[in-house]
Chains A and B, each alone.
Chain A
Amino acid sequence: MDFGIAGRTALISDDDFGRALRRALEPEGVTITHELGDGVDIVVAHDSAPSGREVLAVQSAKQLDAAWDVVVDTIGAYRAALPAMAYRGWGRFVWVGTAAAKALDADDDEVGALTSMAVMALNKVIAAEAGPANVTANAVLRGGPATEDDVAAAVAFLCSEGAGYLTGVTITIDGGVGSAMY
């Protein structure tokens, strides 16, 4: 399948997941960057390392704030990238989070699920606001035995030309272990 995104530039993280995503996007002719710039067509953000914290184990607002940092940072990056995307009439935002955001059954990272719930809602707002400019915002949630390559494949699909009518949606990649229907 030709994803139709040769020549596009993607801002991705410089870590293990970023490397998996690079393996999925570079063969499609996508240029990878780790720096925000005007030429960015695709922004992929992901949640922080698991907090290892159940909600009842939270003892201070500081711990909640630390979890929230990634939401503020992601919004900052999305906002910085949006004007140039809208000007060019093409853009893709993809968030990668935890399947616990839908099933709310995290064993040990309930605090992390909260950030993905917020970004899934953010995607609905961006879908409404930036849809007319042909900019989409979606999420991939990983759970169960999903590998980074499994998740990267779904992210790459959401970045593709063919996924242009999907916006504000969430795809769960969990090998079928999750119980949430919606």
Chain B
Amino acid sequence: MDYGLQGKVAVVSGASRGIGKAIAATLASEGASVMLAARTASDLDDAAAEVDALGDGRVETMAADMTNPAEVELVVAAARARLGAVSIAVSNVIGHVIDVAKEGEGPGAGNFASMPAEEYRREFHHLLVSAWALAHAVLPDMRASRWGRICNIGSGVAREPATNLPHVLPNVVRPAVAGLYRMMANRLAGEGVTVNNILTGSILTARNLSYWEWLANERGSTFEEVTAGFHSQIPLRRQGQPAEMAALVAFLCSEAAGRITGQSIPVDGGISRHL
């Protein structure tokens, strides 16, 4: 199917590796020009080389902290100046890591009893303010052209809090991000701009592996035991691949998906239980 993305300009955050890189790659292979943003310039260069080889569109990069609205504005302005008016934005910022040495690169670990209240504000900036800031920065272009696609890489905990894992921060903040995008979708529905949210399950990325290693250590178990225990609960009996996240995102960005908006859609191998 022709997704109609030839010549479109996309901004993808967290694009230097994992899910963000896979999304940038898929959009590029459909002909979009892509601005890759992430914190680390060297990782971005490597990712850009991979993505650039895939399509006819151009690829640009900018090192930025996408939780900082001022830097998000700079990234979007650079995309507009170098590639053209922005019509696709993918917000892909994970929760803040409190202590890499203690908890690997997973979400800030802790339960309600242990987590200080102020950490919920930092998580709010990572997850919600970042998603708001990207949408806010790209909307003028999208509204002017009456065509836009905004996606947030959220988490399944937005609909079903993972109370079996020490994920109190994303458990509390992710639903608010889903709500933010839903309400934006309602307001923008008449303007050709769709806004959707992905409920990410367990996707095989370096960060995900680091998380399972941390959890195994925390529980005095092995990586194999912890992951086997978790994966046995997934109906498809395996983790997802970043490209499988990118497949849904690219579809939602397509011309054909123009009437899908305000949705939260899981890519989780069937593990979520809601209807």
Query: Which residues of A does B touch, CB under 8 Å?
Result: 54-56, 58-61, 64-65, 68, 71-73, 75-76, 78-79, 82, 101, 104-106, 110, 113-115, 117-122, 124-130
Contact = CB atoms under 8 A, between A and B. Distances in A.
B146 interface: no
B112 A64 contact: no
Given A56-B187, A61-B133, A72 B175 contact: no
Contacts, number: 104
Interface stretch (B15-23, B57-65, B119-127): B119-127
Interface stretch (B97-105, B176-184, B202-210): B176-184
B132 A65 contact: no
Contacts of A124: 161, 163, 171
Interface of B: 69, 111-113, 117-118, 120-121, 124-125, 128-129, 132-133, 136, 139, 157, 161, 163-164, 168, 171-176, 178-180, 182-184, 186-188
Contact of A61 (B129, B157, B178, B187): B129
A117 B171 contact: no
Given A61-B133, A104-B186, 16 more contacts: A58-B136, A61-B125, A64-B128, A65-B121, A65-B124, A71-B120, A104-B179, A105-B186, A114-B180, A115-B176, A117-B178, A117-B179, A118-B173, A125-B168, A129-B112, A130-B113
Given A104-B179, A110-B183, A129 B111 contact: yes
B129 A56 contact: no
7 contacts: A56-B187, A56-B188, A79-B117, A105-B186, A115-B176, A117-B176, A117-B179
